[in-house]
């Protein structure tokens, strides 16, 4: 089976097989830059209604541009939290690090409840292939554009990636 834009993502499931996908992808740093966006693209292919996905807060401006402008999908930040990432890999230098994380909801217009995308919307990644994690400029942090209109989630939640 192939995904929405015709490439094989390696997941042997048909498109739009579930209502909602929840994913906690690798953050796409070090040697796997862009893997978070690959997870997101596959999650969108599999979901009929919505995707919930965890991403580093520093990548929010990139994800807004990719999801809204390039893929033509809706996105909102439903929670901001800190993940305590323990020292698990050789490249980790500290015992643990708190990472600012967004839980985003990706969804499509009511007219496309089946999750089908417009012709111009082929879920291509373009650019460097994933989120940019090498700088934290925060200048594009336009929270008014991405905050949920629902109940506000408490900040400072802790979890494990």
The per-residue pLDDT for range 48-59, each reduced to its tens digit, is: 999 999 999 999
**Contact yes or no for 87/96 (Cβ under 8 A):** yes
Find the radius of gyration of the CA atoms of the chain. Answer: 16
Tokens found for residue 27:
């953050």
- pLDDT tens digits, one per residue of 110-133: 655 444 444 334 565 444 344 433
Q: Which residues contact 62 (CB under 8 A, 6 or more apart)?
A: 131, 132
pLDDT of residue 15: 95
- Over residues 90-100, the pLDDT tens digits come to 877 888 989 99
Strands 96-107, 47-56: pairing kind: antiparallel
pLDDT band, residue 138 (cuts 50/70/90): very low
Helices then strands, counting H and E runs in the chain, come out as 3, 5
Q: What are phi and psi of 155, to 5 degrees?
A: -80, 165
Distance, CA of 161 to CA of 10 (rounded, Å): 23
Cα four-point dihedral sign 68, 72, 77, 81: negative
At residue 98, the pLDDT reads 94
pLDDT at 65 over 50: yes
Provide the pLDDT for residue 161: 38
Going by the DSSP 8-state scheme, the letter that residue 111 receives in this structure is G
Going by C-alpha positions, the residue among 73, 97, 48, 78 that lies closest to residue 146 is: 78
Other CB atoms closer than 10 Å to residue 75's CB: what's the count? 21
pTM: 0.66
Per-residue model confidence (pLDDT) at position 115: 47
The region of weakest confidence among 30-39, 68-77, 106-115 is: 106-115
* 34 phi and psi angles, rounded to 5 deg: 95, -10
Reported confidence tier of residue 31, pLDDT bands at 50, 70, 90: confident
State the pLDDT at residue 111.
Answer: 58
pLDDT number for residue 8: 83
Distances (CA, A) of 63 to 43, 133, 146: 14, 11, 11
Q: Tell me, what's the pLDDT at 127?
A: 41
Higher pLDDT: 69 or 128? It is 69
């Amino acid at each position: 089976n192939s995904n929405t834009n015709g490439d094989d993502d390696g997941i042997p499931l048909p498109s739009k097989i579930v209502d909602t996908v929840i994913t906690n992808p690798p953050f796409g740093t070090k040697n796997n830059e862009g893997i978070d966006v690959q997870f997101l693209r596959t999650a969108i292919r599999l979901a009929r209604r919505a995707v919930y996905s965890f991403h580093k807060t520093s990548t929010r401006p990139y994800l807004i541009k990719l999801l809204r402008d390039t893929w033509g999908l809706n996105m909102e930040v439903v929670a901001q939290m800190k993940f305590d990432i323990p020292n698990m890999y050789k490249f980790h230098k500290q015992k643990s690090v708190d990472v600012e994380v967004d839980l985003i909801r990706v969804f499509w217009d009511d007219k496309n409840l089946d999750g089908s995308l417009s012709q111009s919307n082929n879920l291509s990644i373009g650019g460097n292939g994933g989120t940019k994690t090498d700088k934290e400029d925060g200048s594009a942090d336009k929270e008014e554009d991405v905050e949920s209109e629902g109940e506000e989630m408490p900040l400072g939640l802790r979890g494990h990636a």
